[in-house]
Amino acid sequence: MTQERFTDYKLSTDITNALNGLGYTLPTEVQRKVIPLVLEQKDLVTKSQTGSGKTASYGIPICELVEWIENKPQALVLTPTRELAVQVKDDLTDIGRFKRIKATAVYGKQPIAIQKTELKQKTHVVVGTPGRVLDHIERDTLPLDKIRYLVIDEADEMLNMGFIEQVETIINKLPRERVTLLFSATLPEKVKNLASNYMKDPIDIEIKATG
């Protein structure tokens, strides 16, 4: 069997060139499973260990699929921590470099005014912690009507940090016509409930731990 490569996914050259620049030649196992299904707009629940390459597994197809729509964000990524929000924003910016994808991170402890200014400029993807995302929604500084992709990253950590209720509040404000992608290293019952309550026939992907 020949090894699957990023070029097998018929990604635009803007994206494949960016992956080359990052030194990504072969997709990781989770990327081989997730990328084609996101390109087909499927909802996914993905269980895969830390370090397996989950960010690019959703980042690559999302950067491929988003386009400019009235300067409003089309993808929302929820993360449990500020550090992860910034990391994901940086990764999406790298993957989307040649397509000029703009990603914005919003999180607590940074003055909200700075983020308001950034959100007013055109941005494709917003990455943030649930509390601050809700804060922006309530202030009308984060329009949700064009969101087509929702990513819940590190869902088990969201649960551990007590953010599940805020995540649910956010989900209830999003357009129903969307793709929802949940990623987690473990799948406790409350995370599974989140999937069954808010996703459309999600496909379960489980990458067995290696080593």
Q: Is 89 in the site for Mg ion (CB under 5 A)?
A: no
Q: How many whole angstroms separate alpha carbon 127 and alpha carbon 75?
A: 8
Q: Is 55 in the site for ligand ADP (CB under 6 A)?
A: yes
Q: How many whole angstroms separate alpha carbon 72 and alpha carbon 91?
A: 20
Nearer to ligand ADP, 118 or 157 (CB): 157
24 binds, among ligand ADP, Mg ion, none (CB under 5 to 8 A by kind): ligand ADP
Answer yes or no: are the C-beta atoms of 202 and 182 closer than 8 Å. yes
For residue 90, with 0-12 CB atoms within 10 Å meaning exposed, 13-18 middle and 19 or more buried, which class applies?
middle
- Shortest Å, Cβ 163 to Mg ion: 16
Question: Segment near Mg ion (CB under 5 A), from 46-54, 91-99, 134-142, 199-207?
Answer: 46-54
Q: In 3D, which of 9, 15, 14 has the Cα closest to residue 38?
A: 9
Number of residues that bind ligand ADP (CB under 6 A): 12
Nearer to Mg ion, 17 or 81 (CB): 81
Q: Is 28 in the site for ligand ADP (CB under 6 A)?
A: yes
Q: 54, 99, 132, 178: which one contacts Mg ion (CB under 5 A)? A: 54
Q: Look up residue 208 and give its two tokens.
A: 């067995």
- Shortest Å, Cβ 34 to ligand ADP: 11
Which residues contact residue 114 at a Cβ distance below 8 angstroms, ignoring those fewer than 6 apart?
Answer: none
- Shortest Å, Cβ 26 to Mg ion: 19
Q: Is 53 in the site for ligand ADP (CB under 6 A)?
A: yes
- What strand order describes the sheet that includes 44-47? 103-106, 125-128, 75-78, 149-152, 179-184, 44-47, 203-206
Interface positions with ligand ADP (CB under 6 A): 24, 27-28, 31, 48, 50-56
